[in-house]
Amino acid sequence: MKTLVIAEKPDMGRTIAAVIEPRAKNNRSYLEGEHYIITWAIGHLLGLAEPDAYDDKYKRWNFGDLPILPQQFKIVPNPKTKDQLKTIGELSKRCNAVVNACDAGREGQYIFDLIQQHIKLDQPVKRLWISDLTAESIAKGFEGLHEGREFHNLTLAARARSEADWLVGMNASRAFTTKHNTLLSVGRVQTPVLALIYDRQKEIESFDSLTYYDIKAVFQQLERSYTGTWQGDRLTDGEKAASIAEKVRGKAGAITSYEVKETKEYPYKLYDLTLLQREANAKYGYSAKKTLDLAQALYERHKVISYPRTSSNYVNEQNIDGMHKALHMLKSTSYRDLAEGANQSIVNVNNKSVCNPSRVEDHHAILPTLRRAGNLSKEEQDIYDLVIRRFLSHFYPPAEYKQHTVLTEVESETFKTNVKELLFLGWKVCQPNEDNSKSSGKGRKKEEEDEAEELVSEPFHINPEEKVHCSEVEVKEKATQPPKSYTEGTLLKAMESAGKQLENEELRDAMKEGGLGTPATRAATIERLKKVGYITMQGKRITVTQKGRTAIELIRLAGVELLTSPEMTGHWERRLHQISKGEAAGEKFMESVKKFTISIIEKVRTQRKADASRFESPEEDKTKGKSKRSSGSSPRSTTDSSRSRPSSGSTPPSGGLQPLAPCPRDGCGGQIIEGRKGYGCSHFKQGCGFVIWKEFSGKKISHAMLNTLLEKGHTQLLTFKDPEGEYKARISLVDRISGKLEIDRE
C-alpha cells in the first residue's frame, strides 16, 4: 500500500512529486512512484449545493419559501472537474495513508475537507504545511509532517465560514430579488465593500468646492534663494490676498525661526498580497485579480516567490537563513549590483521590521525563493521586480535626511519653508523610479495644508542672523478638492483597514489583521461586484452604477444596515478565529447566523417594493427594459437559471425579441438582442453590461457589422472623416465584457 498525496493544483502536485518521487510515472491526472501516489484538486472540486438540491420548489425564487435553512449542508461536485474527483476516489482505495498537501491556510484546509467528506476518506491523514514550493521546503516539510487532527479546529472554522456565507448570501439575495423584481446579489463581504464605494461616491457628489488663495514668496539671502508659503487662516478673499502680496513684494525680511533636525526613513514593509496588489495597481494599472494571477504563476509555475496569498508583512526566525541564501542567489542575476551592495547582517532575528513571529499567522511575507527567474512574461517580470526590490531594500541602511523648517517674517506677515535635504540614499537605491518626495507618507497631507515639502539633494543652509529680501511673490487661486474616487488599489487598502473606525474595541481587534475579506478573496469580491453590474470602471476609477446605488439604499432602508457595515465581518472573524483556536463552538456560531438570516427575511418582508426605474440610469435603454418587464417573465426564473444552471444559456430572451448572436462575455450564456439605441445582452438583469451602441464615430452599426464584430473582433476597412480629411480604419471590439469599441486606423 502507498501514501496518497493530494495537492491543491496540478503544478503543485508535479512539483511535490519531483522531490518525493522523482521517477514517478506520469498518468496524466496523477503521478505514481514507489511509495507515493501524487494527485491534485483543481481548486474547488466540490461546493455547497444550490437550494433546489434540498427541495424542487426552490428552483423558482419565491419569497414565501424563505428562509432556506438546511439542517445538514449538502456538497456537490463541480461538473467541470468531476473526473478528477473520481480519480482521487479510485486512488484512495489503493492507499493506506493520505497527506493533505493543499495550500497551508483556511481555504486550502476547506478544499481538502470537502474531498475527505465526499469520498469518505477514512485513512490516517498527515498535513504538509509549507510556505513555498522550493525542493528544500518540500523535502523539509515531508520530514516534519503534522498530524491531520492538529488542524481539526481550522477545518471547523473554514466550514463555518462557508456555510454562514451561504445562509446569508443565498437568503438575502433571494429576499431582495423577489421583493423588488430585479436580481440583487447580497453577501457578507461584497455588500459592505459596495457600501464603501457608494459612500465615497456620495461624498464626491455632495462636495461643495471652496475657492481660496495661496501666497508664495521667494526670498534671497546672498546666493541662496528659497520659497515660503504665507501662514494664516485660509484666504477666501482674492483682494486681501493681493494686498498681502503687494505689501511684502520687494521688502526686506527676517528669519524668526530656523530649525534643523536629522531624520531617518526605513524600508517599506515586505509585501503581503494586498500590499502587492495595491502597488501593482498604482504603478502598472493591474487589477487586483490580475496581480493575484501573476503572483500565483510566479509561485506555482515558475517557483520563484513564496506563497503569495499571505496577510503577513513579516517573517519567522527560521526564514532569515533562507533570505540570506536568496540574497546570494540574486548576485548571479540581473539584480547583481543591488545584491552586491547589500549588507547581509542587517537582516537578522533582532530586526523587528523584518522578523516578527508574533505578526506571522499562516504564512510569512512574500519572499523570493532560491530559484533564478527565467522566461517570465513582461507582466510576470513586473510583479517579480516589485518583490525583489522590496526584498533587497531590507538589506540596506535607512535613508538619511536633514529637515529644515524656516519661518520668515516680512512686514508682519509670516511665511513657512520646509526643505528636506537628502544626506544618504540608503535603501532607496532599490527604488530608482520612485519620487522620493513622497517617501515620508506625509506629502499629500502637507500639500493639502499648503506646506509642500521641497526635496533637495544639494546642501541647504541659511544664516538666521542675516536679513533676507522678498524678490518675488505670487498669488495662486485654488479650490478645495473632493475625495478621490476609489481605484482598485485604494479600494484594497480600504477593505484591508475596514473596521478600524468601529467603536467596539473587540471588533476592531478582530478586524485589525483581516479587514473585509482575505488577501486571497478580495480580488474575487471586486470582480463579483463588476459581474453583477454594481460597479463599473472608468479608466482606473471605480464608480457605482444606478443598480449598485439602489441596492445599498434598499438594504439600509430595510433596517438591515449591518449587511453594509464591516461590523458583521468583525463579529464573524472574531468568532471564526476563536473556533480555529478551539476557544468557541461552531454550532453556537451557526445558530446566531441562522437567527440573523431570519431577521433579514422578516425586515425585507415589510419593505415597500422599489419602482423598476430606480435600477436604471437615465442614459440606459428604457425600451429594452420595458420589453423585458412586459414579457411576464419574473426574475425568479431567470435568476434561478443563472444561479442553479449557469451553463444553460439557451433560454430564449423574453419579450419576443429576436436573438442576433450569443453574448461574447465568458460564462454569461445570454443572447444579444436589439434595443432602440443599441444591441445589448438578454441577461442584463443578471448583471451583464455588454452593449454595442447603434451609432459609433458617425457610423451606423448594422446587423451584419455587429456579427462581424462579434465573430472577427473588427469590421472591414471603412472610410472616416476628420478635420484633416478622409482616412481608412476599422471599428474594433476591444472589450468583450463591456462592448467597448475603438477606431483602428490602417
Active site residues: 307
CA distance 333 to 388: 11
CA distance 377 to 229: 48
SS3 2: strand
SS3 289: helix
Burial (Cβ within 10 Å: 0-12, 13-18, ≥19) of residue 659: middle
Identify the sign of the CA torsion 550, 551, 554, 557.
negative
First-to-last alpha carbon distance for the chain, in angstroms, is 66
CA dist 221 → 227, 419, 474 (Å): 12, 16, 19
The grid cell for 243 is 494686498
List, in order, residues 6 or more apart from 190 with CB less than 8 Å away: 525, 528, 529
Q: Which runs of consecutive H residues, i.e. helices, occur in 69-184?
A: 82-92, 106-118, 135-143, 152-180
Maximum Cα–Cα distance across the chain: 95
Q: What would the 3-class secondary structure string for 174-210 be?
A: HHHHHHHCCCCCCCCCHHHHHHHHHHHHHHHHHCCCC
Quick count: other Cβ atoms within 10 Å of Cβ 701? Answer: 19
Say if CB 680 and CB 691 are below 8 A apart: yes
Q: At what angle do helices 635-644 and 152-180 cross, to 10 degrees?
A: 160
Say if CB 323 and CB 367 are below 8 A apart: yes
Nearest CA-CA partner of 571 in 585, 558, 589: 589
Say if CB 91 and CB 7 are below 8 A apart: no
Beta bridge partners of 691: 680
Cis amide linkage into residue 652, ω under 30° from 0:
no
CA distance 647 to 668: 8
Nearest CA-CA partner of 179 in 720, 723, 560, 617: 560
CA dist 631 → 626, 638, 654 (Å): 9, 12, 6
CA dist 269 → 393, 494, 743 (Å): 10, 18, 44
CA dist 733 → 276, 351, 690, 723, 743 (Å): 31, 53, 11, 25, 9
CA distance 622 to 292: 38
SS3 57: helix
Buried b (16+ CB within 10 A) or exposed e, 446-459: eeeebbebebeeee
Say if CB 110 and CB 166 are below 8 A apart: no
List, in order, residues 6 or more apart from 593 with CB less than 8 Å away: 164, 167, 168
- Going across the sheet that includes 25-26, the strands are 25-26, 31-32, 36-40, 2-7, 95-101, 125-127, 146-147
| Torsion angles phi and psi, residue 284, rounded to 5 | -115, -10
Cα–Cα–Cα angle for 354, 569, 538, nearest 5°?
80
CA distance 452 to 728: 49
SS3 504: coil
CA distance 697 to 679: 16
